[in-house]
Structure 1
C-alpha cells in the first residue's frame, strides 16, 4: 500500500453555502427576519463526522466575501480541516433561503416540511474543476485520506464540476474508499443531462441512495433492483426515509434496520447526517447493523434541529443505543428535548456528556 501523508481520515468535497433561516415558521412573505447559518451536503457530513470523533476535512470554494468567511469559520469551529478551501476573488459564495412549515398562514408548507430556495448559479463552487488536483493543499489532503466523500450535487453544478467528479472517481488509490451520496436535486439538473449519473454512482465503493430520490432519478427505489443496477460498489445503502435502511453487499446479502421514531422539527440535513453516521461506523469498524444504527441516530438528531445539523448525544448514550436489543431500539423516541429509550432507563454506567 502506498505511504500516506498524515491528515484527516475523511475528505468531503463539494459546495458549502450561507443559509438564511427564518425566525418563525411560515411562508417567506410572512417572515419577520432571518438569521445566517451554514449549509451544504458535503460540509454537513464533514461536521457530523467531526462531531462523531472522525478527523474530517472539507474541500471547496467560497467567494471573497462575508458569507465565504462565515462558512470557513463555521466549519473550522466544528473542528473540520479547511486548509484546502479556495477563495475565489471574482465569484460569490452560494446562498440559500430556508422556508419552514408549521404556521396557520396561507401557503404554509405544513408542519415538519421545508423548502430551500437556492441562489447559487455562478457561485464560487461552480468553478471547481480538475485543476483542483494540482493544488498543493488539496493534493495533500486527498493523498492522506482513507475516505473521499462526494455527492451527485457537485456533478450538477457545472461542466467543470462534473469533470472534477469524474477525475476523482477515476483516481483510485490503494487503501482509499470513495463514498457517493446521490442527493438528487432536480432543479440543479434542469438543462443538464442526468444520464451521466449511473456511471458516477457505479464508480463508488459505498453508494448511498434515498429510495424516493432513486425512484425519481433512476426509475426504481427497490433495494434489490438498485443493487443489481450498480454492481461495482462494495455496499449499496438504500434509505427509505422514516421507515428503514437496507445495506446490500455485492453478493446481495442485505442488512436492514428500522428508523427511529422521531418528532421531526425540520428535515434538511438528515441524509447528510445519516451518511456521516454510517461512514463513522466504517471508521470504528462496526458491523453492518451498528453502522446503520449510527446513521439513523445521527439523522434523528438532525431531524430534531431547526438548522441542517443536530447535536449528537453523549458517547455513552450512543454506545447503549447501538447495542440495544431490537425491542428497545424500536421503542426509542427522539425529540427536540432528548432521547427516550428503555435502554437508557435501566441502571448503567455514567453515559457521559453530549457530543459538541
Structure 2
C-alpha cells in the first residue's frame, strides 16, 4: 500500500440552481470527504491507497463505500456502524465564486471511530500515512484514533503527512490550536494553507509561517497559496512553485485535497519536492474546473497533458 488515510466521508447534496437553498426544489447527490478525496485522487494517479472509516449501515453508507471502492481505493478497513447514521452536508452556490456549506454530522457513524478500529499491520504496510485536522475534531475517540494511527506509523517508519484542514465550527478555537500544533509536531510533512497557518501562528509571510511549522518538528512544509501556487521548505532548499491558471473556477471545494494527492503522487513517482509541488498545484487547479469534490481529480495522462500545455515555473532560493 502506498498511502493510508482515515476520516469521515459524507453524502453531499447540492441544489441544481444557484441561490439560497430555501428556494431549491431539486438536488444532486454526491459523496465527499477530505481524506477519501485524497485516496481517490491517488488511485486515479496510479498509486495504491486505503481508507479507514466508519459509515452508517444505511443507504448513504453503502453508497459511499461502494463508490470509493469503485474508484480503486481499498475499503477493507471501513466498518458499518449499526448504532449511528452516515453524516450529510449541503453545499449551495449563492453566486459565482460564493459557496456556503452546512453540515449535519453530529453523532455520525464516523464520529464513533475509536483506536480499536486502527489496524497496526495495515498502517505498517504503507509508505505514507495521511491525516487531517478534521478527524480529531469530530470526537475524543476520533482524536485518539488519529494519535494511534500516527504512533503505529512512527513505530514502523511510515512517513506521516498532516493537512491541518481547519474547521472552526467543529470545536473551540483554543482546543483546535492545541491539537493541530500537537499533530504538526508529530508529522514529517505538513501541508497547510495560509489561513490555517495564520490561525495557528498569527500574521506572517509564507516563508516565516513555514519556518514556524518546521520549528515544531516536520522536515517538509508546503504552504498552499491558492491560485498563486505554493511555497515549499525542506531542510536543504526552499522556493516557490507557481500556480496553474484556469479559464473558469467552477467549484473550489476539494482543491486542497487534490493538492495533497498530487504532491504524494509526485513523491511516490520519485519526483523531488519542487517537482512534486508543481504536480500538486496542477491537480489542485484541475479540481476547481469541475463541480463536486472528486469529479475534477485527473488520471495521470490527463494531468501530464494539462501540465505540458500551461505555463508554470519554480524559483529555488
TM-score (norm 1): 0.81
Residues in 2 aligned to 1:260 and 1:175: alpha-carbon distance in whole angstroms? 34
Q: CA deviation at 1:259?
A: 0.9
Q: CA deviation at 1:47?
A: 0.5
2:311 to 323, 329, 334: 329
Q: CA deviation at 1:255?
A: 2.5
Q: 1:230 to 1:46 in 2, by over 3 A?
A: same
Structure showing greater relative contact order (alpha-carbon pairs closer than 8 Å, 6 or more residues apart): 2
1:148 paired to 2:129 = yes
SS in structure 1 opposite 2:51? strand
Q: 1:64 to 1:128 in 2, by over 3 A?
A: same
Residues in 1 aligned to 2:222 and 2:36: alpha-carbon distance in whole angstroms? 20
1:56 paired to 2:39 = no
Single out whichever of 86-95 and 284-293 deviates more from structure 2: 284-293
Q: CA deviation at 1:212?
A: 1.8
1:13 to 3, 6, 14: 6
SS in structure 2 opposite 1:180? strand
Residues in 2 aligned to 1:313 and 1:17: alpha-carbon distance in whole angstroms? 21
Q: 1:44 to 1:245 in 2, by over 3 A?
A: same
1:163 to 144, 150, 166: 144
Q: CA deviation at 1:315?
A: 3.7
2:226 to 241, 244, 247: 241
Residues in 1 aligned to 2:297 and 2:166: alpha-carbon distance in whole angstroms? 26
Q: CA deviation at 1:227?
A: 2.9
2:268 to 271, 283, 300: 283
- Counterpart in 1 of 2:181? 198
Q: CA deviation at 1:330?
A: 4.1
SS in structure 2 opposite 1:25? coil
1:189 paired to 2:182 = no
How many residue pairs get aligned? The number is 308
1:115 paired to 2:100 = yes
Which structure would you say has the larger Rg? 1
Residues in 2 aligned to 1:211 and 1:132: alpha-carbon distance in whole angstroms? 33
1:306 to 291, 300, 308: 291
For residues 1-356 of structure 1, the aligned pairs below 5 Å read 8-101=1-94, 110-133=95-118, 138-171=119-152, 172-190=154-172, 193-194=175-176, 195-220=178-203, 222-231=205-214, 232-251=217-236, 253-262=237-246, 263-312=248-297, 315-319=300-304, 322=307, 328-330=310-312
Residues in 1 aligned to 2:234 and 2:290: alpha-carbon distance in whole angstroms? 32
Are 1:113 and 1:266, in contact at CA under 8 Å, matched by a contact in 2? Answer: no
Q: Deviations over 1:97-145 (max 9, x none)?
A: 11113xxxxxxxx312212100000011111121223xxxx34421211
RMSD value, Cα: 2.0
Residues in 1 aligned to 2:13 and 2:63: alpha-carbon distance in whole angstroms? 12
Residues in 2 aligned to 1:96 and 1:45: alpha-carbon distance in whole angstroms? 19
Are 1:156 and 1:192, in contact at CA under 8 Å, matched by a contact in 2? Answer: no
Q: CA deviation at 1:95?
A: 0.7
Q: Deviations over 1:277-316 (max 9, x none)?
A: 0010010011222211211111112101110123455644
